[in-house]
Amino acid sequence: MANWETVVVNTDLLICGGGFSACGAATEAAYWAKKKGLKVTLVDKAAVDRSGAVAMGLSAINQYVGIRDGENTAEDYIRYVRSDLMGISREDLVYNIARHVDSTVHLFEKWGLKIWKDEAGKYVHEGRWQLMINGESYKVIIAEAAKNAIAAAGGEIFERVFIVDPLMDGNKCVGAVGFSTRENKFYVFKAKAVIAGMGGAVHVFRPRSVGEGFGRSWYPPFNSGSSAYFTIKAGAEMTCQEVRFIPVRFKDAYGPVGAWFLLFKSRAISATGGDYMVVRKAELENWKPYGLVKPIPANLRNYLGMLDTEQGLGPLYMETDEAIKNIAAQFKDDPKAFKKKMKELESEAWEDFLDMTISQAILWAAQNVKPEEKHSEIAACEPYFIGSHSGASGAWVSGPEDLPTPYKWGYANMTTAEALFAVGDGSGASSHKFSSGSHAEGRIAGKAAIKYIVEKGKEPKVDMAEVEKLKAKILLPLDLWEKHSKETTDPEINTNYMVPRQFLHRLQKIMDEYAGGVISGFKTSKALCERGIELMALLKEDSAKMAARNHHELMRVWENNQRVYQAEAHIRSILFREETRWPGYYFRADKPKMDDKNWKCFVNCQYDSKTGQWKMMKKDIWTMPGV
Ligand SMILES: Cc1cc2nc3c(=O)[nH]c(=O)nc-3n(C[C@H](O)[C@H](O)[C@H](O)COP(=O)(O)OP(=O)(O)OC[C@H]3O[C@@H](n4cnc5c(N)ncnc54)[C@H](O)[C@@H]3O)c2cc1C
């Protein structure tokens, strides 16, 4: 085995991940931990200042309810999420986040985030729930608050340490193991409670960007299903694993469309000029009641555009020129004011990309796009797992203590594995929390985890013999490389191993062709899912043959292994749910209709690490009384 030092870290609360939800958890938990003399430790595979989905910055805070100004209520938010997810949401969780999210946003502002204000001093909304921000440094600001809180409470932060597996004592999570992506160090974190906040997953499906563009995707490439893997391997019940997210974005550089649709009120059209939201309105009747709700659920909006492309009416375009002209038209009688407004709109259009998807600005420049003169192509991306956004996959967590929810077995956001909490993309069926809601959820879980430690926390019992086995398994790819890489003239072609990229291509091919990726028009069926599961079993067998030539590739190996579990949970859940509920995200071609009678329920699954078997189950939907 590679000769790496084993570093043991003892803590009370371990926070895995350093993104938005983890920073929320750290800020809140450290506050309570300091009062109780407890230690909080945060571990991120990257550098917290620029890690996770918000690394590059964002141009809007997507969840702000506006309760103090009477703009909306938390109940309104429940209704919005219920419709957008076609009836499938944990209303207790959605409510809990919605009632706390505004205070989180106010903290962001206090910490220095610039939120746009109008002349009356009110927040500028992009849409009903979204606030415009100067967000290039959004993550840095939120990370600073978390780091300060941990430092003030005497905690520790480990950066560039990749968390692999949970440590279990029966059904209780007692820590985690991982490795440094820079030094020869294997880490063992022993904890009384653990929070999984390691984001969602990308590159489970083959991306549209292949060849020289490989790696480019809407979802940042850093998150590889670590939250899902961690909670699945801990034996926690998982939910909504079939609910992937497919955004429609500016084509090829995945630039955001929110500002265009919501702020600029732009239309999207087919190549022949038809506005598919208008032309195909009748189709929405087939998906009622959700199809008739405003705003129309994201998957149905996708679906109407997909119907156009399927019938050869693509490419689809965002009418940027028309939108800009419509807004500037208010100033048409004053040429000077008109010119000034046009300039302002043009710079806002570019800034939207420069704030969060710089490559879209580069692509526009490369393709001579002037948004005020010419429309720009949009397309459906490949599928992603992002339960905090418009997907819903994640762990099945305990609801808030003060609500009459039937889903309560412990402390808020605790999974069905004791002492293990999940947040952000890691917790399921509570979509549309976005950056602010993920942070708020992190705060909820951080506080609950400290409460758990104070009331029930015991010294973690960690079996060091098991740890040694895990260390050998995790470092094996380095040994394989060391032993066999000189056997062939091209070290990437070897009968004893494969490199992580080769494995990744195989996984993506299976998912693309059998589980409804881009190549199959997002369609799958019982037979395709079953075949996909057969191929996945062979892939899993071969996973022990991945080799790594350095720290970075070792991380790639474990990212791949983690993706496989996310992939398998996904195919099994699509197979189990015998209907199509989210057209525009995926279609069960053999069950093309929504079946509320049999399938208006959650699909949950649970993995047994000892037997390698999955258990699939239905769970009832609970609706908040009076909402
Ligand atoms: C392209 C895009 C655009 C978005 N736009 C908006 C927007 O405009 N407004 C808005 O409010 N929200 C937006 N969101 C949503 C928002 O970014 C997410 O809701 C939020 O980041 C989720 O928080 P999280 O903590 O679950 O994950 P993340 O913030 O992604 O954090 C995950 C963390 O886990 C770490 N990690 C991953 N694997 C491991 C591992 N194995 N070991 C240790 N650490 C690990 C990562 O380094 C990272 O720090 C957008 C998301 C995307 C992808």
Question: Measured from the CA of 230, which atom of ligand 1 is nearest?
Answer: 41
In the predicted structure, residue 17 carries a pLDDT above the cut 90: yes
Q: How far apart are CA 208 and CA 126, in angstroms?
A: 29
Mutate to test the pocket of ligand 1, among 140, 217, 223, 433 (most ligand atoms within 8 A of CB): 223
CA of 435 to the centre of ligand 1 (A): 7
| Cβ–Cβ under 8 Å, residues 280 and 309 | no
Residue 437 CB less than 6 A away from ligand 1: no
What are residue 614's phi and psi, to 5 degrees? Answer: -105, 140
Q: How far apart are CA 389 and CA 382, in angstroms?
A: 15
| Residue 384 DSSP class | B
Residue 223 CB less than 6 A away from ligand 1: yes
Residue 218 CB less than 6 A away from ligand 1: yes
Place 259 in a pLDDT band, splitting at 50, 70 and 90: confident
Residue 440 CB less than 6 A away from ligand 1: no
Question: Measured from the CA of 436, which atom of ligand 1 is nearest?
Answer: 11
Supply the pTM of this predicted model. 0.97
Q: Which residue is associated with the tokens 């998957």?
A: 299
In the predicted structure, residue 2 carries a pLDDT above the cut 90: no
Residue 163 CB less than 6 A away from ligand 1: yes
Q: How far apart are CA 253 and CA 259, in angstroms?
A: 16
Mutate to test the pocket of ligand 1, among 16, 20, 355, 433 (most ligand atoms within 8 A of CB): 20
CA of 425 to the centre of ligand 1 (A): 7
In the predicted structure, residue 96 carries a pLDDT above the cut 90: yes
Residue 150 CB less than 6 A away from ligand 1: no
Question: Measured from the CA of 178, which atom of ligand 1 is nearest?
Answer: 42
Q: How far apart are CA 305 and CA 558, in angstroms?
A: 36
Q: How far apart are CA 175 and CA 419, in angstroms?
A: 9
In the predicted structure, residue 184 carries a pLDDT above the cut 90: yes
CA of 128 to the centre of ligand 1 (A): 22
Instruction: For residue 574, give both structure tokens.
Output: 């699509």
Average pLDDT over every residue of 257-277: 92
CA of 491 to the centre of ligand 1 (A): 35
In the predicted structure, residue 126 carries a pLDDT above the cut 90: no
Average pLDDT over every residue of 375-385: 97
In the predicted structure, residue 467 carries a pLDDT above the cut 90: yes
Nearest to 189 by CA among 52, 17, 396: 17
Mean model confidence pLDDT for the chain: 96
Place 30 in a pLDDT band, splitting at 50, 70 and 90: very high
Residue 557 CB less than 6 A away from ligand 1: no
Place 464 in a pLDDT band, splitting at 50, 70 and 90: very high
- Which burial class, exposed, middle or buried, applies to 350 when counting CB atoms under 10 A from its CB (0-12, 13-18, 19+)? middle
| Cβ–Cβ under 8 Å, residues 232 and 254 | no
Q: For the residues of 46-106, what is the DSSP string, one character each?
A: S-GGG-STTTT--SEE-----TTTTS--HHHHHHHHHHHTTT---HHHHHHHHHHHHHHHH
Question: Measured from the CA of 220, which atom of ligand 1 is nearest?
Answer: 53
**In this predicted structure, what is the pLDDT of residue 497?**
98
Q: Percent of the chain beyond pLDDT 90?
A: 91
Residue 142 CB less than 6 A away from ligand 1: no
Q: How far apart are CA 406 and CA 258, in angstroms?
A: 35
The residues carrying an active-site annotation are 62, 126, 218, 249, 352, 389, 435
Residue 436 CB less than 6 A away from ligand 1: yes
Taking the CA atoms of residue 80, residue 84, residue 89 and residue 93 in that order, the dihedral angle to the nearest 10 degrees is: -40
CA of 16 to the centre of ligand 1 (A): 13
pLDDT tens figures, 301-358: 999 999 999 999 999 999 999 999 998 888 888 989 888 888 888 888 888 888 788 9
Residue 225 CB less than 6 A away from ligand 1: no
In the predicted structure, residue 553 carries a pLDDT above the cut 90: yes
